Amino acid sequence: MSKFAVFGLGYTGLSILNTLKKENTVLGISRETQAEDSILLDLSDRAALENFRKENLGAKFDASLITFPAQKLENREQVFDTIFSISKTVWMFGSTSIYQRITSDITEKTPLDPEHDRYETENQFLEKGGKILRLSGIYGPGRNPANWARKGSVKKTKRQLNLIHGDDISEAVRLLLSYPGNDLPSELILSDGQWHTWLEIFRFLEDHGKIQAIPEEKMDREDSFIDSSLIRKFLPGLQTKDFWGELEKLEELI
């Protein structure tokens, strides 16, 4: 049985913890969220982090996953050193927003934006031998894209919306951590690979009487389609949920 550690028990971390626990020994670590058999640890507390490192040096984790935005930690160097010292492999979540929008499709080869707030931290992490899974916009129960439209935080344009369901993230992580080979790239992209625009989503909600009809607006910025075909070559069994079916569930239409 493999032994994993999940750092950060937010929306995705908690789901991943529960998924991995079905077949593995998993330790959840969070600053304020406590689940069954997880521990509370403030990673910004240097002394507490050092004690955690000493306590776990004896039996290394087969893999650890950092689910929170590590660039916000002032002591991220210590955090990385600690996690790498107690783990055979370390993964970290990133965001596809770090890629420059210079082509119609975004892949792992697309240049990164050096001005992005994750840029330096990710480079530091990769230099230590870590692997990054960059996620598209996360949706699912409690994260309904329709609410973004209702709140006016998005506009009714033809802009492409790249998404990934929270459950699909958990399954992808499970498959990545159990991958038998040693040829996984250090950077991978995860999206549902489906084409949908905000214009289509607005019209769907309008047609079902979920929001008031409003005029279409012009795109205020360019966007690109997130191509996640590379990760599917390594994980051919990976399935992702149908967006429109999930939206119907979230809107209680079925």
Question: Would 130 be classed as within a structural domain?
Answer: yes
Q: In this predicted structure, what is the pLDDT of residue 103?
A: 87
189, 228 contact by CB (below 8 A): yes
Q: In this predicted structure, what is the pLDDT of residue 35?
A: 86
Residue 116: burial class (beta carbons within 10 Å; 0-12, 13-18, 19+): middle
For 74-118, the pLDDT digits (tens) are 999 999 999 999 999 999 999 999 999 988 899 999 999 999 999
53 lies in which domain range? Answer: 3-136+165-191+225-240
Question: Would 249 be classed as within a structural domain?
Answer: no
Q: In this predicted structure, what is the pLDDT of residue 184?
A: 97
Question: Would 156 be classed as within a structural domain?
Answer: no
Question: Would 146 be classed as within a structural domain?
Answer: no
Q: Residue 15's Cα: distance from chain center in Å?
A: 11
Q: In this predicted structure, what is the pLDDT of residue 34?
A: 84
Question: Would 187 be classed as within a structural domain?
Answer: yes
CB atoms within 10 A of CB 250: 17
Cα separation, 245 vs 192, in Å, equals 13
Instruction: Give the count of domains, the chain.
Output: 1
Cα separation, 235 vs 229, in Å, equals 10
The H or E element containing residue 105 is strand 105-106
Question: Would 83 be classed as within a structural domain?
Answer: yes
- Residue 33 belongs to a domain with what CATH number? 3.40.50.720
The DSSP annotation for 24-51 comes to SEEEEEESS---TT-EE--TT-HHHHHH
Q: In this predicted structure, what is the pLDDT of residue 24?
A: 95
Q: In this predicted structure, what is the pLDDT of residue 18?
A: 95
| Local confidence pLDDT in tens for the 254 residues of the chain | 899 999 999 999 999 999 999 999 999 999 998 888 899 999 999 999 999 999 998 879 999 999 999 999 999 999 999 999 999 999 999 999 999 998 889 999 999 999 999 999 999 999 999 999 999 999 999 999 999 999 988 999 999 999 999 999 999 999 999 999 999 999 999 999 999 899 999 999 999 999 999 999 988 766 799 999 999 999 999 999 999 999 999 999 87
Q: In this predicted structure, what is the pLDDT of residue 13?
A: 96
Question: Would 50 be classed as within a structural domain?
Answer: yes
Question: Would 110 be classed as within a structural domain?
Answer: yes
